[in-house]
Amino acid sequence: MIALSSHLGPPMRLLISLLACLTLGGCSGAYYRAINLGVDDDQVGSELYDEAHGLSLDVHRPVASAGAAKPPVVVFVHGGSWRDGDRQGYRFVGQRLARAGALVLVPDYRKAPRHAFPDFMYDTARAVAWARANAERLGGDPARVFVMGHSAGAHIVALLAADARYLGSVGMVPRDLAGVVALAGPYDFLPLTDPELWEVFGKQADWPLSQPVNFVDGDEPPFLLMHGRKDKIVWAINSERLQAKLKAAGSSVRYVPIDGEGHIGLLLSLRGEDPSPALAETLRFLGLP
C-alpha cells in the first residue's frame, strides 16, 4: 500500500505517513485499541508457525454449532505497505469471521526494508501449509483453506494463488486452496516510481515477478475481488484487470465494487454485527450463514 504507479491514487505519501504513525509511532496503541474495541484478547491464541524465522500467528477459533460440518479455515494476511503492521492489529477481522463460524489464522510475515520480496511470499506459503496441517487439531476443515487479505495483504494472497512457485515450496498447488478473498489490492502496478518500493521489490529486472496479473494461467482457485468505489489509494483498475485476466484464463472470479467505501473503510466495514456488503459477500464465498 505505497505509491506504485498511475494505478494508485495521489494521496499515497499522506497514507504512508499515517501508517507509519499508526504502526510505529505513539498513536498506534490508541488507534488499534479503537478499531479492536470489543475484541476479547483472552479468546485469541497464538502459535509459532515458522521457528526458523520466529514467525507466529493468531488463532481465532470458530463459534461451535452442534451438528455443523467442520468450519472453513481462513488465513488472513494484513496490509501495511509490505513494511508495517502486525497480526495483533487485525484481531477485529479474526474475531468477526470466527463469530460467523470460521477458523481464522492471522500470521505475521517478514517486511521491508530488512526483508525484501519474495521473503514475505514464502512466509505466507508456510503459514498456509501450517494452517492445512493443523486445521483439524484447531477445529477446522483442512480441505477448505481460504486465503484472504487487504491492500498489500491482498497482493500477497493473489500472487500466492497465481504464481505456483510459492505454494510449490511447501508441497502444495494453487488449487489446494478453497478460494481467495482479496480486498482493495494492487495486482498490476508497474512501473515502480517510489524509492521505498524499490526497497520492497528489488532490482527493476525482477519487478514483473511481483505482479499477480503476470501469472494467471487457469490453475487458480476461485477468487472474490472487492474494491471500494471511493478508493483513491489503490485504484479499482487493479481489481478490474485481475478479474479480466482470470476470466480470460477460465478461472472462477467474482468482482464486487462496493459503493461508498474507500481504501481503509472497506476493511473496517468487516467489523459490524450486521453484515456490510463486503462482509456479506465474504461470508457467502466462505459458505457461512
CA angle at 32 for the pair 26 and 37, rounded to the nearest 5°: 140
CATH architecture type of domain 12-286: 3-Layer(aba) Sandwich (3.40)
Q: How confident is the model at residue 30, as a pLDDT?
A: 56
Longest dimension (CA), the chain: 54
Report in angstroms the alpha-carbon separations of 119 from 166, 192, 215, 258, 259.
10, 19, 18, 32, 35
Check pLDDT > 70 for residue 28.
no
What's this model's pTM, rounded to 2 decimal places? Answer: 0.90
pLDDT at res. 19: 44
pLDDT digits (tens, 9 = 90+) for 61-93: 998 665 568 999 999 999 999 999 999 999 999
- Render the burial of 125-137: b for 16+ CB within 10 Å, e for the rest: bbbbbbbbebbee
What is the rounded CA–CA span in Å between residue 167 and residue 173? 6
Query: Residue 18: is its pLDDT beyond 50?
Result: no
Lowest mean pLDDT among 51-55, 64-68, 89-93, 262-266: 64-68
Q: Domain residues of the chain, as ranges?
A: 12-286
Q: Residue 156 pLDDT more than 60?
A: yes
Mean pLDDT is lowest, of 38-47, 56-65, 209-218, 249-258, for 38-47
Please state, as a whole number, how many other Cβ atoms lie within 10 Å of the Cβ of residue 30: 9
